């Protein structure tokens, strides 16, 4: 291994006491491959197992905390009869020596009646997303908001009982937790909205519910993370100043890490084009080492990964790079980074152990992965 990459392979211990063997984790990416009832498929087990070796941790694709908060092919952590299924997923990852972290979410207004079996999607307010075909969601009444808070706590309990090493609350990528924090999707004037402080209430109470479950049920150190999208382009939308204020609150919630979800770990503000400082760097400068950060986005080479750590960010996540090259970490560790696969072809599905539904999704998203040839 090159000396410049050694920092990537140092162990890291979280505040909870849990330790990962190195600083490289797999970012959560949907496989769209679970059964209709949200149970894990054998294709998913093979997919995660193939990529987990050599990583510090794997953060799974998102699992819904209620069945009315899913999208097509998502995992379920919505009931106790899903624990056995989730346990198989945890085992498939942990058998490689990597830690297994279950990401949990509720789809909110990003859902649709088709995937929700005719049920109207819900959100903080009855405001549709700014995307083609978006449905108007039903505004959640106070009582149901509180039920959802508890659902996140119950899903955390199930992750613990399934044998996972941690959970990540999906407060990013425009799903429900983010929708409560966003002034675009949250137009409420009650306890759950109306001011920046009140828009923090739902995510903070979800964090508290998950933390309570960990304190009650976890018998060993359990990793507790939160994923956040620092900005939105919508008007009104989440600003970096909003996020920095929220991060001040998160510092005292007992989180082990905050996962900063950006298209590139090195991108600057989407809203303030005059500031070219990477958002990840700005956030680290703001919160220091009070909560460890995970940087993600367009980290393709070991030089990119090392550059994230050079910002003072202790953990780096790889996403699409691990689809293309499942042995990325092992190759860097063994000094074979020159053999890292950079492109894939349409004949590589079986070798790369990619589920059929995920493979179809990849082909319907031109440019998402670097295909070396066009399809015949």
Sign of CA pseudo-dihedral 348, 349, 350, 353 = positive
Backbone angles phi, psi at 229, to 5 degrees: -100, 120
What are the C-alpha distances in Å from 295 to residues 27, 88, 128, 150, 233? 10, 28, 30, 29, 20
202 alpha-carbon distance from chain centroid: 18
Contact 27, 37 (CB under 8 A): no
CA distances from 126 to 80, 199, 233, 345 (A): 31, 16, 19, 43
For residue 326, which of 51, 82, 33 has the smallest C-alpha distance? Answer: 51
How far is CA 183 from each of CA 197, 199, 293, 331, rounded to the nearest angstrom? 11, 8, 25, 44
DSSP states along 335-346: T-GGG----B-T
CA 368 to chain centre: 18
Cβ-Cβ contacts under 8 Å for 69 (sequence gap 6 or more): 78, 105, 106, 107, 108, 111, 122, 148, 176
222 preceded by a cis bond (ω within 30 of 0): no
* Cβ–Cβ < 8 Å for 338, 348: no
361 assigned to active site: no
**Candidate list 175, 226, 257, 361, residue with the active-site label:** 175
Q: Would you name the residues annotated as active-site residues?
A: 175
């Amino acid at each position: 291994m090159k000396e410049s990459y050694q920092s990537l392979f140092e162990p890291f211990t979280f505040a909870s006491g849990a330790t990962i063997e190195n600083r490289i984790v797999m970012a959560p990416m949907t496989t769209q491959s679970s059964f209709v009832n949200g149970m894990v498929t054998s294709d998913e087990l093979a997919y995660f197992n193939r990529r987990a070796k050599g990583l510090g941790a794997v953060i799974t694709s998102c699992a819904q905390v209620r069945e009315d908060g899913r999208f097509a092919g998502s995992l379920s952590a919505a009931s106790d009869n899903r624990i056995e299924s989730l346990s198989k997923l945890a085992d498939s990852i942990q058998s490689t020596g990597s830690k297994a972290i279950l990401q949990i979410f509720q789809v909110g207004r990003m859902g649709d009646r088709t995937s929700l079996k005719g049920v109207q999607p819900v959100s903080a307010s009855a405001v549709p997303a700014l995307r083609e075909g978006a449905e108007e969601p039903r505004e959640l009444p106070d009582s149901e908001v509180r039920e959802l808070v508890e659902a996140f706590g119950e899903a955390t309990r199930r992750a613990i009982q399934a044998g996972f090493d941690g959970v990540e609350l999906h407060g990013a990528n425009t799903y429900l937790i983010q929708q409560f924090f966003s002034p675009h999707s949250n137009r409420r004037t009650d306890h759950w909205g109306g001011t920046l402080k009140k828009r923090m209430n739902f995510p903070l109470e979800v964090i508290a519910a998950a933390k309570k479950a960990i304190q009650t049920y976890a018998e060993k150190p359990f990793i507790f993370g939160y994923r956040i999208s620092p900005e939105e382009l919508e008007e009104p939308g989440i600003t970096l100043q909003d996020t920095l204020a929220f991060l001040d609150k998160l510092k005292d919630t007992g989180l082990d890490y905050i996962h900063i979800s950006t298209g590139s770990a090195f991108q600057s503000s989407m809203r303030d084009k005059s500031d070219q400082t990477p958002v990840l760097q700005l956030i680290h400068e703001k919160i220091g080492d009070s909560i460890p950060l995970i940087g993600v986005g367009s980290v393709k080479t070991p030089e990119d990964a090392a550059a994230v750590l050079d910002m003072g960010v202790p953990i780096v996540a790889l996403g699409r790079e691990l689809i293309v090259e499942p042995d990325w970490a092992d190759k860097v560790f063994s000094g074979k980074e020159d053999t890292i696969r950079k492109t894939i072809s349409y004949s590589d599905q079986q070798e790369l152990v990619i589920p059929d539904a995920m493979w179809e999704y990849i082909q319907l998203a031109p440019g998402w992965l670097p295909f070396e040839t066009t399809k015949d």
